[in-house]
């Protein structure tokens, strides 16, 4: 074979070998990161990886000329630079809370549980009769700030005569962080009871949305907390316990996931450090309390664009190209690690069905036509809570039922207000318990 062919082939071979060596070192680093749970912000894994790589490079070049001895170090330098980018923070490592909102005062309440939560109050306004019981809102997340879109909906409810209170659950939004091992669904229920007690206005109505509806459902199964609740609105609930979380059932009509344009804006997952950390946490290979990225740093890094596909899944397919901006960059807050921790405690919890069957708090279930939630999460609650008085199936909306599109906010508010005031329902009571088998069979 002529030299003009041999030389390029040798170069390609060496390049492939160097690339394989660099990839192998990166893989070794990731394996060590998983094994050490990210100890020392990843530097423990990085030090071992670089040390092993340097020793291997010295051994490979031991019989070469001084120039030849440098060649094995090229993949080491590349791998060292790539893996070092996983170890160096690019955002502050102490929590930076969102700035205050211009349209509502943020208060901070210290609860008897030890949680310090951000509280928002919308006094009743408008010409509608004043409702006698305060309305407390539990947002979804699980550990997430209340979006501007939700704040607008709360203002609408206040305009219909409801005295509305909302608080961001511990670790979310402007609320203080908890030690990672203190996040749990049980703590969330205890915080709800403590919040109502500190409010000091007697029994309250509660609107729980998504994971907030899961907290509310478990509160109804807890006699001490349930005694503080006058009425409960369970809107698009997540799983209520471990057995429910393991159900892999059907969902509603198609959502906008996969067809909506990608959200614009910065993504933490475009940075190697956070792409690795959040990716490994989501795969269950790093624990939520890992030492690679601390809770505060992770909260500071996570952006709305990181939730793009999840946001799209909350809207109907026909709304894919007009999904509203749910939040501002300054107000957005989401704790991926704490949320995973809470979700895991739900998966690990035993069935609450026996306790829920003793519930006596009047409740209403809200289900969206294009819901991305597993239908059995809602129908299991319906089957086991004898105090559910009506179910309202909202056509033409996805998981985020009040979303500023068309008359969706008006319809959702009408359903909620009618139930809280014990007025006739705007929609048929559907599905009832008797309707459930056909509802699931027909993929409604």
For 308-360, the three-class secondary structure string (H helix, E strand, C coil) is HHHHHCCCEHHHHHHCCCCCCCCCCCECHHHHHHHHHHHHCCCCCHHHHCCCC
- Asked, for residue 181, whether it belongs to a domain, the answer is yes
Q: Are residues 150 and 80 in the same domain?
A: no
Q: Are residues 145 and 68 in the same domain?
A: no
- Asked, for residue 145, whether it belongs to a domain, the answer is yes
Q: Are residues 78 and 177 in the same domain?
A: no
Strands 388-398 and 135-138 turn out to be unpaired
pLDDT truncated to tens, each residue of the chain (444 aa)? 556 555 565 555 556 766 887 888 899 999 999 999 999 999 999 999 989 888 887 877 666 665 656 667 788 888 889 999 999 999 999 999 999 999 999 999 999 999 999 999 999 998 878 888 999 999 999 999 999 999 999 999 999 999 999 999 999 999 999 999 999 999 999 999 999 999 999 999 999 999 999 999 999 999 999 999 999 999 999 999 999 999 987 888 999 999 998 888 888 988 999 999 999 999 999 999 999 999 999 999 999 999 877 899 999 999 999 999 999 999 999 999 999 999 999 999 999 999 999 999 999 999 999 999 999 999 999 999 999 999 999 999 999 999 999 999 999 999 999 999 999 999 999 999 999 999 998 877
Smallest Cα–Cα separation from 137: which of 236, 237, 232? Answer: 232
Give residue 71's pLDDT.
Answer: 66
Backbone angles phi, psi at 308, to 5 degrees: -50, -55
- Asked, for residue 347, whether it belongs to a domain, the answer is yes
Give residue 75's pLDDT.
Answer: 81
- Asked, for residue 272, whether it belongs to a domain, the answer is no
CATH number at residue 122: 3.40.50.1820
Give residue 18's pLDDT.
Answer: 66
Q: Are residues 325 and 377 in the same domain?
A: yes
Instruction: Give the domain extent around 195.
Output: 107-265+307-441
Compute CA 102 distance to the chain's CA centroid, rounded to the nearest angstrom.
Answer: 25
Q: Are residues 74 and 180 in the same domain?
A: no
Q: Are residues 131 and 239 in the same domain?
A: yes
CB-based contact 187:215 (threshold 8 Å): no
Tally of domains in the chain: 2
167 strand-pairing partners: 119
- Asked, for residue 273, whether it belongs to a domain, the answer is no
394 strand-pairing partners: 368
Give residue 359's pLDDT.
Answer: 97
- Asked, for residue 296, whether it belongs to a domain, the answer is no
Give residue 73's pLDDT.
Answer: 75
Q: Are residues 240 and 359 in the same domain?
A: yes
Give residue 126's pLDDT.
Answer: 80
What's the whole-model pTM score?
0.92
Q: Are residues 56 and 148 in the same domain?
A: no
Backbone angles phi, psi at 117, to 5 degrees: -115, 150
Give residue 222's pLDDT.
Answer: 97
Give residue 96's pLDDT.
Answer: 93
Give residue 405's pLDDT.
Answer: 96
- Asked, for residue 237, whether it belongs to a domain, the answer is yes
- Asked, for residue 113, whether it belongs to a domain, the answer is yes
Q: Are residues 125 and 71 in the same domain?
A: no
């Amino acid at each position: 074979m002529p030299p003009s062919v041999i030389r390029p082939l040798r170069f390609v071979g060496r390049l492939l070998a160097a690339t394989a060596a660099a990839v192998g070192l990166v893989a070794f680093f990731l394996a060590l990161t998983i094994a050490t749970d990210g100890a020392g912000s990843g530097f423990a894994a990085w030090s071992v990886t670089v040390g092993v790589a340097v020793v291997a490079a010295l051994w490979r070049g031991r019989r070469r000329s001084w120039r030849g001895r440098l060649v094995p170090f090229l993949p080491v330098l590349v791998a060292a630079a790539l893996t070092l980018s996983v170890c160096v923070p690019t955002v502050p490592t102490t929590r930076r809370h969102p700035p205050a909102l211009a349209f509502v005062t943020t208060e901070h309440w210290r609860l008897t549980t030890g949680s310090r939560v951000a509280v928002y109050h919308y006094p009743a306004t408008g010409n509608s009769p004043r409702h006698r019981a305060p309305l407390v809102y539990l947002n979804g997340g699980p550990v997430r700030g209340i979006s501007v879109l939700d704040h607008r909906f709360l203002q609408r409810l206040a305009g219909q005569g409801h005295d509305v209170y909302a608080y961001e659950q511990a670790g979310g939004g402007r609320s203080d962080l908890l030690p990672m091992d203190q996040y749990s669904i049980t703590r969330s229920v205890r915080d709800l009871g403590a919040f109502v007690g500190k409010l000091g206005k007697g029994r309250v109505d509660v609107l729980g949305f998504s994971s907030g509806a899961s907290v509310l459902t478990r509160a109804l199964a807890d006699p001490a907390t349930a005694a503080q609740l006058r009425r409960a609105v369970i809107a698009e609930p997540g799983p209520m316990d471990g057995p429910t979380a393991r159900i892999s059932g059907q969902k509603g009509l198609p959502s906008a996931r996969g067809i909506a344009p990608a959200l614009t804006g910065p993504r933490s997952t475009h940075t190697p450090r956070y792409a690795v950390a959040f990716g490994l946490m989501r795969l269950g290979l790093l624990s939520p309390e890992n030492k690679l990225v601390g809770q505060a740093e992770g909260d500071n890094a996570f952006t709305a664009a990181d939730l793009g596909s999840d946001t799209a899944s909350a809207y109907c397919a026909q709304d894919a190209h007009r999904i509203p901006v749910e939040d501002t960059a300054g107000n957005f807050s989401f704790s991926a690690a704490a949320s995973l921790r809470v979700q895991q405690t739900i998966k690990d919890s035993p069935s609450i069905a026996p306790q829920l069957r003793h519930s006596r708090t009047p409740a209403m279930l809200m289900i969206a036509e294009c819901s991305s939630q597993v239908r059995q999460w809602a129908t299991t609650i319906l089957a086991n809570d004898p105090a559910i008085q009506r179910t309202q199936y909202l056509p033409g909306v996805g998981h985020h039922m009040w979303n500023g599109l068309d008359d969706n906010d008006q319809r959702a508010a009408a359903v909620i207000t009618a139930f809280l005031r014990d007025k006739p329902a705007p929609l048929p009571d559907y599905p009832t318990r008797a309707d459930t088998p056909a509802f699931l069979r027909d993929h409604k």
